[in-house]
Structure 1
C-alpha cells in the first residue's frame, strides 16, 4: 500500500513538473514570435528613435509595467487617477505614472519575490476576475535598474494611452504599497495565459511596438527592448 501511494505521489509530481516545463517552453516560444508593428525610424537608446515621446518599461523580476508621462500628445489620465487616491496626495506632483495590471490577490500580496506563496500563485494561475491596475506616481526613472526606455511617435503614444485607459473599470481605488501608489479596479481576467506580463506586451503591441506574440514572463517582454 505504501509503495502504491509513493508511486501515485511520484506520478503526480512528475505530471506537475511536465506541465510547468511545457508552460515555460510555450511562454518562451510565444515570446519569440514577432508581433506588433515595425520599430519607429531613427533608432536610439531603447526601442524607437531620438524623437517622439519617451516611455519606459519596468521589470521588478515578477511584474512588468509601463511608465509614461502624465501628459503628452494631448492624452492623460487626470479623470481616472487623482491625487486623493494616494495615501499622501503630495506624490501626485510627480510627472510620471507607473501602470501595471494583474490579479488583485497576487499583485497586492507579492510586492517582491520574498512575498510569493505557492497558494497565491496557484490561485492566480487557475484564474480570477478580481483584477487591478497598480498605478504609482514617480519622477522620470531614466537610468534606474530594471527600466527600459522606449521611444514612441505621438500616434503610437495615443494608441498606448487609449489601450491602457480601456483597462480601467468603475470602482473605488485602494491605497497601494506606500504613500505614492494605489490599486484601481480593472477589466479582464487573470490566468496563467493572461498574466501581468502578457498585459504589458498586449499594451505595447496595441501601440505598434515590436513585441512577442504572447509574453507571459518578464523576459518575454524585456527581450524586445
Structure 2
C-alpha cells in the first residue's frame, strides 16, 4: 500500500515565498540603516576647521560626490599629471579641478540617467573596475560645500587623490579612450574596485579621512557626507 504524505510534511511554498520576499526586502532596509548610522558616526572627531587655510570644495548632484581642488596650490601642481591634450577643449581660464571615483560601466556607459540599464546597476552593486573622472572647473562654489584645510591636511588630501589613479609603465596616469561628457573632462584608470560597499561617496569621505578632516564613518549616499560641511559663500 502506498502511503500518502500528510499535508504537514509538504513544503510550505507560500510560506517559503514570504520568507524569501522578507529576506530580499530586508537587504535594502539594512543597507539604508547602516548608511544612516555610518553617516552620523564621525571619524577624526576632534578636527576643527581653521580660521584660515586652503579652500577645497565638495560638490554633489544628489547622488554622486566630487572633490574640487585648485590646479596649483601649496607647491602641488596637477597640470603636469593632467596635460591639456587629455581633454577635448578645456577652459584655459579654469583654475580648479573636480575629482570623482566611479564604477567603469556606470561612468562610461551612462552619460545621462536615462541611459542606466539593469547590467549597469548590477555592476555598480556587485563591483567593477574603478575609474577616476577629472573635470576642469571655473567656479567651484556653485552648489558646493566648502572646507578649509591646513597646509599639511591639504597635502594629505592631494596625495590621497593622487594615489587613487593607476599608473602606466611610464609612470603617467592612464587615460581611458573615451570622449568624456564634455570638452573639459576625461576619464582615467583607477585602483581597486567600486561597489555597493565602496561607492563614490565613500571614496570622497575616505580621502577626507586620510587628510585628517572630520567626516562620516561610512556614507554610501552623498547626503550622509555633505551635511557635515558649510555651504560655500
- Same fold (TM > 0.5): yes
- 2:103 & 2:111 partners in 1: Cα distance? 12
* Deviation of the 1:178 alpha carbon: 0.6
* Deviation of the 1:92 alpha carbon: 4.6
Which residue is 1:72 aligned to? 73
Which residue is 1:57 aligned to? 58
Structure 1 or 2, whichever has the larger Rg, is 2
Which residue is 2:139 aligned to? 140
- 2:117 & 2:39 partners in 1: Cα distance? 26
CA deviation string 1:152-203 (max 9, x = no partner): 1111100000000000112233331111100110111111111111000000
- 1:106 & 1:93 partners in 2: Cα distance? 30
Aligned residue among 224, 228, 232 for 1:224: 228
SS of 2:192 mapped into structure 1: coil
Superposition CA RMSD, Å = 2.1
TM-score (norm 1): 0.85
Preserved CA contact (<8 Å) 1:85 1:175:
no
Aligned residue among 184, 197, 204 for 2:208: 204
* Deviation of the 1:212 alpha carbon: 1.0
* Deviation of the 1:224 alpha carbon: 1.4
* Deviation of the 1:76 alpha carbon: 2.3
Count of residues paired in the alignment = 211
Q: Does 1:15 align with 2:23?
A: yes
- 2:69 & 2:186 partners in 1: Cα distance? 16
Range moving further from structure 2, 174-183 or 112-121: 112-121
Which residue is 1:45 aligned to? none
